[in-house]
Amino acid sequence: MKEVNLKHFTFTLLIVILVWSSTYQSCNARRGKHWRRSRTTSDSLYKKKYKNHGNNHNHRGSGYKSKSPPKPPVKGYSPAVPPPSYDDGPPTISSTAFNVLQFGAKGDGNTDDTKAFEAAWAAACKVEASTVVVPPNYVFLVGPISFSGPYCRQNIVFQLDGTIIAPMSWKSWGSGLFQWILFSKLNGISVQGNGIIDGRGSLWWKESSQLDESLLVEPRTNTTTDKNNPQAVTSSDLYGQMPSIKPTALRFYGSFNATVTGITIQNSPQCHLKFDNCVGVEVFNMNVTSPGNSLNTDGIHLQNSRDVVIHSTNLACGDDCVSVQTGCSNIYIHNVNCGPGHGISIGGLGKDNTKACVSNITVRDVVMHNTTNGVRIKTWQGGSGSVQGVLFSNIQVSEVEFPIVIDQYYCDKRICKNQTSAVALSGINYEKIRGTYTIKPVHFACSDSLPCEGVTLTNIKLEPQQERYRMFNPFCWQTFGELNTPSLPPIDCLQIGKPSSNRIQSNRDSC
């Protein structure tokens, strides 16, 4: 009997040891890295209990995910799939189109669509990479308008495929405005498309208040502008006189990374396209069209702007095809057709004894036909500052009056007062300037007190268009530099070297 009890006790003890051992291993397994909590009711209660407790800890259970972002990839490695965004809130809409017709625009060439354009812009302004759509086959009458930041989102596109026309009534302009269409304080703004901006500027080009009767057309039974001829004017439009301040058709102010491409700007009252206080500008594949006798209608006007590229563009106007003014640097103009017009000009600079600073300007691969000037630098007497680092290269001229010009005695009046101070000119390079002229091939008129220096001429070949024209020989005054190759005609008037009595620039002169 004792022997049976001993066997029973031994068997019971063995069972206890086995159970205890199994429990011990199970507990140890929970400390291992491969443990997974089963998705039971108790597990869900556990997660509910600690859902606010574990946000800052990396739990290894399947129901727990860290809210900390993953470690950045190894430097120099670009994953094929971009990492997920961990920003709070829904993702930003990347692109949305706002058609001006949906905001009430009529596009009949007669109804004032200004408010519809303003409403479409207000909506697009709130969305990054949005598009304002001006559809084709419509003519939109739009008064003076401003598409302004600085609180608009970036990279907005103004898609212009229709035609925008300016008001012809003097009442729309008040006492005068500096621009008609303004894009101000924007980042990444693009104006593009196959459309037209028509300033209908013929009324502004008249110097007197009397209007040429030839501008009038027969009044229609209604006052609707001819959709096929938005330039047409009715007698009711001409009541009153246009203000003396003439607007620029399209102006960009205080903007970054501005692009203009594809469009046509025509018949502007004054400048067609202006960039003022802008950084990062590209203009390409666009057209400017105005008659050669339209007053002060510069094609593209640059002022206080830098990092500008203008290329693959046709510019026909009544003033400078491109005008580079004070405060401009890093300007690159190439593959441009210019004419009619006054050529491509730097200046006038230093007017009313002001300081002007221009540097690093390149103009190359340009064709000019029937222009007053070719490549020109013009400054006023009495100014200060400097123009330096200029290259005019591979310029083809045809029937141009003055292909190469430096004029430090520029004056737009009959008489200007003589003054001693001047904007300093240095490092001006001309190479491969070829073609025909009608008056004078080269005209260098530099300041007595501050002569031009570092003027270099290479591969200059200019011939008279026809002998019947009255021709003048090259002219140089106080111009110093180098002739790197023989020129046609010979430019013997250029003084080789540097001026001996050139005065030292003061702080007022330096830029």
Q: Answer for the pair 315, 294: CB distance below 8 angstroms, yes or no.
A: no
Question: So what's the pLDDT on residue 412?
Answer: 81
Largest distance between two CA atoms of the chain? 150
Cα 228 to Cα 108: distance, rounded to the nearest angstrom = 11
Tokens at 443, concatenated:
């005209």
Cross-strand bridge partners of residue 313: 336
Tell me the HSE value of 232 on the side-chain side, using a 13 A CA sphere: 16
**Number of helical (H) and strand (E) elements in the chain, helices listed first:** 3, 31
Cα 323 to Cα 342: distance, rounded to the nearest angstrom = 10
Give per-10-residue mean pLDDT for the chain (511 aa).
Answer: 54 56 41 35 35 36 34 31 35 70 98 98 96 98 96 97 95 90 98 98 69 29 39 45 91 98 98 98 98 96 98 98 98 98 97 96 98 98 97 98 97 85 97 96 96 97 81 95 96 94 66 89
Burial grade of 242 (CB within 10 A; 0-12, 13-18, 19 or more): buried
Measured in degrees and rounded to the nearest 5, phi and psi for residue 437 equal -130, 165
Tell me the HSE value of 373 on the side-chain side, using a 13 A CA sphere: 22
Q: With the C-alpha atoms ordered 264, 267, 271, 277, is the resulting torsion angle positive or negative?
A: negative
Total length of the chain: 511
Q: Answer for the pair 160, 190: CB distance below 8 angstroms, yes or no.
A: no
Cα 195 to Cα 490: distance, rounded to the nearest angstrom = 47
Q: Answer for the pair 276, 251: CB distance below 8 angstroms, yes or no.
A: yes
Cα 305 to Cα 312: distance, rounded to the nearest angstrom = 20
Cross-strand bridge partners of residue 387: 358, 425
Rounded to 5°, angle at Cα 326 from 322 and 332? 45
Question: So what's the pLDDT on residue 283?
Answer: 98
Torsion angle (degrees, nearest 10) of CA 298, 302, 304, 307? 180
pLDDT averaged over the chain? Answer: 81
DSSP state of 488: B
Cis peptide, bond prior to residue 144, ω within 30 of zero: no
Question: So what's the pLDDT on residue 333?
Answer: 98
Q: Render pLDDT for 378-405 as a digit per residue (tens, 0 to 9).
A: 999 999 999 999 999 999 999 999 999 9
Catalytic residues: 319, 342
- Strand ranges (E), 124-247: 131-134, 139-141, 145-148, 157-160, 163-165, 179-184, 190-192, 196-198
Cα 324 to Cα 467: distance, rounded to the nearest angstrom = 34
- SS in 3 state form for 4-51? HHHHHHHHHHHHHHHHHHHHHHHHHHCCCCCCCCCCCHHHHHHHHHHC
Collect all residues with Cβ–Cβ distance below 8 Å to 336 and sequence separation of at least 6: 310, 311, 312, 313, 314, 315, 321, 322, 344, 365, 366, 367
Question: So what's the pLDDT on residue 330?
Answer: 98
Q: Render pLDDT for 90-104 as a digit per residue (tens, 0 to 9).
A: 334 345 999 999 999
Q: Render pLDDT for 43-100 as a digit per residue (tens, 0 to 9).
A: 333 333 333 333 333 333 333 333 333 333 333 323 233 333 323 333 343 459 999 9
Q: Answer for the pair 156, 130: CB distance below 8 angstroms, yes or no.
A: yes
Question: So what's the pLDDT on residue 113?
Answer: 98
Strand order in the sheet with 373-379: 145-148, 179-184, 248-253, 273-276, 300-303, 322-324, 344-349, 373-379, 402-407, 442-445, 475-477
Question: Exposure string (b/e) for 149-178, b if CB count within 10 Å is 16 or more?
Answer: beebbebbbbbbbbbbbbbbebebbeeebb
Question: So what's the pLDDT on residue 175?
Answer: 82
Torsion angle (degrees, nearest 10) of CA 493, 498, 501, 507? 120
Cα 182 to Cα 191: distance, rounded to the nearest angstrom = 12
